[in-house]
Each structure stands twice: as structure tokens, then as C-alpha cells.
Amino acid sequence: MLSKTIQEALNAQIRMEAESSQAYLAMASWADIQPGLQGVSEFFYKQSDEERVHMLKLIRYVNERGGFGVVPPLLQPIITFQSLKRVFEEFLAHEIKVSESINDLVHMALQEKDYATHNFLQWYVSEQIEEERLARTLNEKLELIGEDKSGLYLFDRDILNYRMQQSAGKSH
Ligand code: FEO
């Protein structure tokens, strides 16, 4: 049985994953209507789906442990971006926030001696290492490319491969 504190914290994380899914869906839709960003758009559609999976896993876990996984209301995320660089900066900043939140949850689970939740959260800990690494790599690449059009063309063409390489290295 989950304690009230843990249940509330897990439900806050459910909300955060839902917000991540919405934020990345908005990035996907924005990229979808920009010329030449089909790869980036697909990348964020996929990223949005992944965040929904993160949310679902939490909802199921809370319910399995005798709590109630609350489906949160949806806030409108940022829907337009000044540049591609801004999109990826936002992506990294968001993932860093999620990692901090997961770390706080892990800490709380230990304090409450909830070892089952602590164990459950380890999947998220590993996931966040990968997500942050991916977001950092993509930001570094964009930094190198700058305004170079052929570089951006290759970035858009290759972005799904980065995602796939990352996915290959982890289990769901
Ligand atoms: Fe589920 Fe990317 O945080």
C-alpha cells in the first residue's frame, strides 16, 4: 500500500509526464509545418508517445499498489518557437527538470522506506540518463551546425537514427 505522501508525489509525476507528452506533441506539430523539418517532427511525435508511456506506467503502478492514479488536466504547452535551436534547448531544459523530479521521488521513497517504489523508479532513473544524454547530444550538434543549411538538412535526415540508437540501448 502506498503512503499518502508517496501517492501524491507519484501523481505529481504522472502530471509531469503528461505535460511532457503535450510539450513534445506541440514541438512535433510546430516542426511539421516548417519547411524541411519532417525528421524533427517525427522525432517529437515519437518522443511525445514515449512520454505517454511513462505516464501510463506510473498510473498502472499507483493503482497496482492500492492507490489511485489520477489522470491530470491538460495545460496548453508552448506551441510556437523562434527557432529550431529554441526547441532543442527547451527539450533539454525539460528533461533536466524531469530528472530532478525523479531524483526527488527516489529520495522520498527511501525516506519512507518504500522499497517497492524505490525499485520501480529505477527504470525512470535509467531512462532519464538516456533522455538527457540524447537532448545534450542534439543540442551540441545544432551548436556545431549553426546556420549551415546543408548541416541542418543532414541533422533533420539523421535525427530519427539518434532516437533509434538510443532506444536500441535500453529495454522497456
Ligand atoms: Fe518521461 Fe522524458 O521524461
pLDDT tens-digit profile of 46-92? Answer: 999 999 999 999 999 999 999 999 999 999 999 999 999 999 999 99
What's the grid cell of residue 54? 511513462
CA distance 56 to 58: 5
Domain boundaries, the chain: 4-169
Please report the pLDDT score of residue 48 as a whole number.
Answer: 98
Ligand 1 atom with the shortest distance to the CA of 131: 2
- Dist CA 35 CA 87 (whole Å): 15
Any atom of ligand 1 within 6 Å of the Cβ of 90: no
Say what the pTM is. Answer: 0.93
Residue pLDDT, tens place only, 90-126: 999 999 999 999 999 999 999 999 999 999 999 999 9
DSSP code per residue over 48-101: HHHHHHHHHHHHHHHHHTTS--PPPPPPP-----S-HHHHHHHHHHHHHHHHHH
Query: What kind of architecture, by CATH, is found in domain 4-169?
Result: Up-down Bundle (1.20)
The residue whose grid cell reads 533509434 is: 164
| CA–CA gap between residue 168 and residue 161 (Å, rounded) | 10
Q: Ligand 1 centroid vs 20 CA: distance in angstroms?
A: 6
Q: How far is CA 125 from the centre of its chain?
A: 12
Q: Is 19 in the pocket of ligand 1 (CB under 6 A)?
A: no
Q: How many A from CA of 149 to the centre of ligand 1? A: 30
* Ligand 1 geometric centre to CA of 150 (Å): 30
Q: Is the pLDDT assigned to residue 2 strictly greater than 70?
A: yes
Q: How far is the CA of 52 from the centre of ligand 1 (A)?
A: 9
**Angle (deg, nearest 10), helices 84-111 and 115-145:** 160
Residue nearest to atom 2 of ligand 1 (CA): 95
